[in-house]
Amino acid sequence: MSEPRWLTEGAPHVWRPYCQMKTARPPLPVVATRGSRLILEDGRELVDGLASWWTACHGYNHPHIADALRAQIEAMPHVMFGGLAHEPAYRLAQRLAGLLPGDLDHVFFAESGSVAVEIAMKMALQYQLNRGVSGRTRFLAFRGGYHGDTLATMTVCDPEEGMHSLFAGVMPAQVIADLPRDAASEAALDAVLAARGSEIAAMLVEPLIQGAGGMLPHPPEVLRTLRRLADKHGVLLVFDEIFTGFGRTGSLFAMQAAGVEPDIVTLSKALTGGTLPLSAAVARRHVFEAFWSDDPGAALMHGPTYMANPLACAAANASLDLFEDGAWARDVARVSAALAEGLEPCRQGAGVVDVRTLGAIGVVEFDAPVAVSDLCARFAERGAWIRPMGKVVYLTPAFTTPDADLALLTHAVRQVVGVD
Ligand SMILES: *Cc1c(COP(=O)(O)O)cnc(C)c1O
């Protein structure tokens, strides 16, 4: 395939993500998307096994979202959110509060996942100060976790994770613990909190499954244990549902599978159905009330320039419309069954240590990190867009991916794993 001119001419100027550019293969030129597929410059179509980093949950170019975006761009693409209000954001906040359990009712908008996590961290720090509690300046997070790439969020990611270990010492060290999966690890976490709890403002966890850290699931009991320990030690509990939110694990929010409410939840990725960047940190009433005061100094001093962008909020409202009829739950169950069945034979593959499925997430885990760039190319030859991560080859397709395209994806994985 000859490269299009825009790629050859622009390539010296584009700094690519997560990539040693000197040795990596060139990126694939995409010119359009349709349903579950990416359409390449040379006309080839790839079935997207990742829904573009877990965002495009309804598939690409959904007409209902596209119509909402067209209407909104004509009316008002953007206005600042300081001192101004608009219907797309106010409606969205009300709808999110209605969908989230309990009194998770206070929505602070931002543009990216990492920034929403930073805001949740800042809320937790100031929540403690506003209540007159000083010294709680640190966070507790878990091995295997991932919460973003910005400097503060890196400190609450898995410390061994290659992406971030380089910067050890740059930022204050946080307390990193093992998830309380059994009596021994629960006692260990309880002991850490007894010893250091008075330094800790909040603990952060991705509920039900740690995503970018390796697609590592845990049972709902873990979240109930965290809630109990957070309350015991006066630490806020933050659920980072940026990956799990909006149906990916089989319930609309992962927290619902455990019946546990965090004090703050972060949302992004599938919030706009994969069309525009938008995120939110949503707080419970007691968190919000710690900022509600006659004292201007008690306010949350934060406000990203593009927060609550009307286009992004219109897309999110349209995406929520699509969740309303409940068809997504049947689709997630259908995708889940297809991934489980299609990936099962991979257990026999060389170096494979586990095959697992949770909701619309299918995972083949190897005993060592895989060659990402080479595997991407081999998947693409088979008509699939799959980009492995660390030791895992995983599939997180759009919920609407047709059965034939799901079969193509799992077939490609079986072939590359060498069991088909
Ligand atoms: C992707 C992700 C983030 C970071 O979101 P960005 O939009 O890439 O900044 C944070 N937390 C979790 C759980 C994620 O999956």
Distance between Cα 214 and ligand 1 center (Å) = 14
Compute the distance between CA of residue 169 and CA of residue 277 in angstroms, rounded to an integer: 31
The DSSP result for 36-70, as a single string, is TEEEETTS-EEEESSHHHHT-TT-BT-HHHHHHHH
pLDDT in tens for each of the 420 residues of the chain? 579 999 999 999 999 999 999 999 999 999 999 999 999 999 999 999 999 999 999 999 999 999 999 999 999 999 999 999 999 999 999 999 999 999 999 999 999 999 999 999 999 999 999 999 999 999 999 999 999 999 999 999 998 875 667 887 888 999 999 999 999 999 999 999 999 999 999 999 999 999 999 999 999 999 999 999 999 999 999 999 999 999 999 999 999 999 999 999 999 999 999 999 999 999 999 999 999 999 999 999 999 999 999 999 999 999 999 999 999 999 999 999 999 999 999 999 999 999 999 999 999 999 999 999 999 999 999 999 999 999 999 999 999 999 999 999 999 999 999 999
Topology, domain 76-323: Aspartate Aminotransferase; domain 2 (3.40.640)
In short, whether 248's Cβ falls inside 6 Å of ligand 1 is no
Compute the distance between CA of residue 111 and CA of residue 280 in angstroms, rounded to an integer: 8
Compute the distance between CA of residue 315 and CA of residue 261 in angstroms, rounded to an integer: 26
* Structural tokens at position 120: 């949740």
Residue from 146, 264, 387 whose mutation best tests the ligand 1 pocket (most atoms within 8 A of CB)? 146
Ligand 1: residue whose CA is nearest its atom 10 = 147
Compute the distance between CA of residue 116 and CA of residue 113 in angstroms, rounded to an integer: 5
Residue 162's pLDDT is 56
- 361-366 sheet: strands from edge to edge: 352-358, 361-366, 392-395
Closest to 389 in 3D by CA, of 410, 371, 407: 371
Q: What are phi and psi of 410, to 5 degrees?
A: -70, -30
Compute the distance between CA of residue 125 and CA of residue 157 in angstroms, rounded to an integer: 18
Residue 160's pLDDT is 84
Ligand 1: residue whose CA is nearest its atom 5 = 113
Residue 168's pLDDT is 79
In short, whether 226's Cβ falls inside 6 Å of ligand 1 is no
At the fourth CATH level, the homologous superfamily of domain 5-61+326-417 is: Aspartate Aminotransferase, domain 1 (3.90.1150.10)
Tell whether pTM > 0.85: yes
What is the position in ligand 1's atom list of the atom closest to the CA of 268? Answer: 7
Catalytic residue among 240, 263, 331, 405: 240
Bridge partners of 281? 108, 266
Residue 1's pLDDT is 56
Residue from 111, 114, 204, 392 whose mutation best tests the ligand 1 pocket (most atoms within 8 A of CB)? 114
So where are the chain's domains?
5-61+326-417, 76-323
